[in-house]
Amino acid sequence: MTVESMFSTGTEKMEKAIAQMKKEFASIRTGRANPMILDKVLVEYYGAPTPLRQLSQVSVQDGTTLVITPFDKTILKDVEKALVKADLGINPSSDGVVVRLVFPPLTSDKRKEICKDVKKVCEDTKVAIRNIRRDMADELKKLEKAENLSEDTVKDNQDKIQKLTDKYSKIADEHSAEKEKEVMTV
């Protein structure tokens, strides 16, 4: 491995950590209806757990209601069971054709609780980024011995690793602040 490939691998891993954080943020409930919160819902379909969004059309109605229209009407009860089991904090209601999820307005206590979850996801991401930094530093030490890198080169690369870590930690903080603002907006 070369110093350049170490940096490209480290950067790629940090990008993935940020992407994972964004994905988790998408499934965190805010005051508005968002189909992304259904990404983790699995419906038992012909004996196999299948993602709900593959089995139905999901649309947002009036900003606070999700309407789930299964492609196969015979699985309506299974969809309802899966939604209850997913523990989204919302009770599904069915009219025999579609399932509706009505999002109640969030209380200020619930908003604060959700902000804590957002901060935890952000901190977990930053821990992952620091672990990647540690792996890169270890790799740099191996390269130092294998390629007889000069002290200046090693020091410069350690600084680059730290700058890369700082950059992605800052990105994580920015996304977290954005999500917290979205949650706190009434």
Domain boundaries, the chain: 3-27+107-184, 35-102
> Between residues 103 and 176, which one has the greater pLDDT?
176
The pLDDT of residue 156 is above 90: yes
d(C-alpha 4, C-alpha 96), whole Å = 59
Homologous superfamily assigned to 3-27+107-184:
Ribosome-recycling factor (1.10.132.20)
Q: Could you tell me if 118 and 76 are in contact, meaning their C-beta atoms sit under 8 angstroms apart? A: no
pLDDT of residue 126: 97
Q: Say yes or no to pLDDT of 164 above 90.
A: yes
Q: What is the pTM of this model?
A: 0.76
Q: What is the pLDDT of residue 61?
A: 85
DSSP type of residue 32: S
The CA R_g of the chain, rounded to the nearest whole Å, is 22
* CATH number at 35-102: 3.30.1360.40
Indicate the pLDDT class of residue 186, thresholds 50, 70 and 90: low
Q: When comparing pLDDT for 124 and 106, which is higher?
A: 124
> Does the pLDDT of residue 52 top 80, yes or no?
yes
Average pLDDT over residues 34-62: 87
Tens digits of per-residue pLDDT, 129-144? 999 999 999 999 988 8
Fill in the DSSP letter of residue 64. T
- What's the rounded Cα separation, in Å, for the pair 41 and 81? 10
Residue scoring higher pLDDT (143 or 18):
18
Note the pLDDT of residue 174.
96
Give the angle subtended at the CA of 170 by the CAs of 40 and 108, to the nearest 5°.
Answer: 55
